[in-house]
Amino acid sequence: MRNFLCVSLILILISACSPVRQTAGTDPLTGKLNSPSPCFNGTFEKALYKATLDIKKQHMSGFLLIKKISDSVLRIVFANEIGMTLFDFGFHANEFKVHYVFEPMDRKLLLRLFEKDFRQLIFDVKPGNSNPIMKTQIQIECQAGLVPGKIKISNPGIKMNLDLRLISQ
C-alpha cells in the first residue's frame, strides 16, 4: 500500500510539472503567424499602447509597441517615457525570442509568464499549465475588426498588473 502511494505521488508530480509545448499562433506547414484572436486579425500591422506595469511594489510606465514585421515575425517592445527599452520580445515562427530584457527583469519565471500572456493575448492560445503562479487573467475591450482599445493583464500569483491603453494603430 505504501509503495502504491509513493508511485502514485511520483506520477502525479511528473505529469503536473511537465511542460506544455504549444505551437499555436503559427501555421505548422508554412511557419507564418496566424492570428485567430478577433482583436488582432489578419489586417493587423501595429499598435502603440500607453502602458503601466506593476510587479509587486515596482512600478514602470511607458509605451508598448506590438508590430507585425512579416508573416512569420511579430515584435513586442516596451520602453519607458525617456526611451530606455525594458524588454523586446519576438515571436519567430514557432519560437519565442528575447531580443533584450532589462537586467532586473531578466528572470526565467517572469519571461515565461510574459511569453504565455502575450501568446494568449495575440494568438488566443489557451494555457495548458495548471501552475497557480502562471494563472493570468486577461481583460480585453475590442470591437470586431479593430485593435483592442484597453487591455488589462493581471497575475495575482506574483502580483503583476499590465494595463495598456491604445494610442495609435
Say yes or no to pLDDT of 108 above 70: yes
Mean pLDDT of the chain: 75
Q: Report the pLDDT value the prediction gives residue 4, as an integer from 0 to 100.
A: 44
**pLDDT value of position 125:** 65
pLDDT tens, position by position, 7-33: 444 434 344 433 333 344 444 444 555
Tell me how far apart the alpha carbons of residues 64 and 77 are, in angstroms, rounded to a whole number: 6
Q: Which domain holds residue 110?
A: 2-168
Which band of pLDDT confidence, cut at 50, 70 and 90, is reported for residue 44? Answer: confident
Q: Number of folded domains in the chain?
A: 1
Please give the Cα distance from 162 to 168 (Å, whole number).
18
- Count, residues in the chain: 169
Query: What DSSP element (H or E) covers 98?
Result: strand 95-101
**Cα distance between residue 34 and residue 122, in whole Å:** 10
CATH number of 124's domain: 2.50.20
Q: How far is CA 17 from CA 10, 20, 137, in A?
A: 11, 9, 21
| Amino acid found at 146 | L
Enter the pTM of the model. 0.72
pLDDT digits (tens, 9 = 90+) for 57-100: 889 999 999 988 887 788 999 999 998 999 999 988 678 899 99
In whole angstroms, what is the distance from residue 88 CA to residue 141 CA? 24
Distance from C-alpha of 8 to C-alpha of 28, rounded to nearest angstrom: 36
Strand pairing class (46-55; 85-92): unpaired
**Contacts by residues 62-66 (CB-CB < 8 Å, ≥ 24 positions apart):** 62/86, 63/167, 64/164, 66/40, 66/122
The band of 5, judged by pLDDT with boundaries at 50, 70 and 90, is: very low
Measuring CA to CA, which residue among 69, 63, 56, 68 is closest to residue 86? 63
Of residues 138 and 132, more confidence is placed in 138
